[in-house]
Amino acid sequence: MVSMPAAASDWSVALTFDDLPKMGGGDCAQTEVLSVNQSILDTLDQFGAPAAAFVIPGTPCQGDGAASAASIARLWSSRGHAIGNHTDTHPDYNTLSIDAFLADAEAAHRALVPVLDSASQRERWFRPPLLHMGYNARRRIALDAWMFKRGYRLGVVTIDNQEWVFAAAYERMLKDGDAARAEAVADAYVAHIMESVAYHRALARRLFEREIPHVILLHANRLNADHLADVLDALKAGGAKFVRLETAAADPAYRSPDRYKGPRGLSWLLRWAEAKGVRAAPEPREPEWIAEAARRPPSP
């Protein structure tokens, strides 16, 4: 007889995927864009896991027709997932003028409203690229005012992580035809996610003296097309229940003050920690060999 894990270890997490239709820097061919999205959607179905997908309508990493950003957004929406605005071309709010950045966010709004309307999605979600909210009060206030005008809620992230670095390393290994090293990257990826989860759950318990529902940031990429099931298996084994973004964000913890006005793209747990005067340990990083592989130019 196998004993059941203690109920006390149960916790909930909303899965969110950025950079749809596909994270840049890798293969953006039409067939690859379609295949990545189909595979991630099939895995989510298999686990009965709802997700929120943050779309970049103007990204160069898309195809025509069914592989266009709008079609991929409709596909996710038709499979029951929420769609969010991640700006039109993924600019960095730290380097662009306020007006240019908000015009880019507005362009994504125009592109995505028809998708949301046809799916009767009422919730409007916005998440800035790199989680950059504006490095001073003026920038932050301008972004908040634009979100308010357009009825957006912020797509807060509690479990930020280095998944995007693993994804870049993974695509590099595949391109080099090194399947064995690609599998090693995938194994290290799952281990890193679990380490990140443990870090952020512990920080949340310190801040709120209870377990809170979390929001994890992932991306639409080949790594998740091939290995999201491994991540979801590991999360489930650790007591995770998969919930919708609006369910997680309805928790009172998400109304905590965020007074951080700096250049970094921080998890909201670190922003809330700062407002509460709590000093957090450094976040888990990727192993150096992963970072090195992600940086390496393609083999000739």
Query: What does the alpha-carbon distance between residue 252 and residue 229 come to, in Å, rounded to a whole number?
Result: 30
Kind plus residue range of the DSSP H or E element containing 199: helix 179-208
Q: Which of 261, 211, 266 is nearest to 239 (CA)?
A: 211
Which residue lies nearer to Zn ion by CB, 129 or 213? 129
Pairing of strands 153-154, 214-219: unpaired
Query: What does the alpha-carbon distance between residue 48 and residue 92 come to, in Å, rounded to a whole number?
Result: 34
Shortest Cβ 33–Zn ion spacing (Å) = 16
Shortest Cβ 129–Zn ion spacing (Å) = 5
Residue 257 neighbours by CB distance under 10 Å: 10
Query: What does the alpha-carbon distance between residue 266 and residue 73 come to, in Å, rounded to a whole number?
Result: 26
Residue number of the CB atom closest to Zn ion: 18
Residues from 115 through 154 that contact Zn ion (CB under 5 A): 129
Size of interface with Zn ion, in residues (CB under 5 A): 3
Which residue lies nearer to Zn ion by CB, 132 or 271? 132
Query: What does the alpha-carbon distance between residue 243 and residue 16 come to, in Å, rounded to a whole number?
Result: 11
Which residue lies nearer to Zn ion by CB, 91 or 129? 129
User: Going along 220-256, which residue ranges are E strands?
Assistant: 240-242
Which residues make Cβ contacts (< 8 Å) with residue 227, sequence separation at least 6?
Answer: 186, 189, 190
Which residue lies nearer to Zn ion by CB, 143 or 207? 143
Which residue lies nearer to Zn ion by CB, 12 or 94? 94
Shortest Cβ 86–Zn ion spacing (Å) = 6
Identity of the amino acid at 293: A
Shortest Cβ 120–Zn ion spacing (Å) = 26
Per CB under 5 A, which region of 17-25, 43-51, 108-116, 195-203 contacts Zn ion?
17-25
Contact between 18 and Zn ion by CB under 5 A: the answer reads yes
Which residue lies nearer to Zn ion by CB, 129 or 155? 129
Query: What does the alpha-carbon distance between residue 112 and residue 89 come to, in Å, rounded to a whole number?
Result: 13
Shortest Cβ 124–Zn ion spacing (Å) = 18
- Over the window 210 to 249, marking each residue x when it contacts Zn ion by CB under 5 A and - when it does not, the resulting string is ----------------------------------------
Per CB under 5 A, which region of 12-20, 31-39, 155-163, 291-299 contacts Zn ion?
12-20
Per CB under 5 A, the list member of 11, 15, 16, 19 interacting with Zn ion is: 19
Pairing of strands 153-154, 82-85: unpaired
Q: Identify the residue whose tokens are 């995770």.
A: 240
Torsion of CA 38, 43, 47, 52, to 10 degrees: -60
Contact between 88 and Zn ion by CB under 5 A: the answer reads no
Shortest Cβ 183–Zn ion spacing (Å) = 26
Binding site for Zn ion (CB under 5 A): 18-19, 129
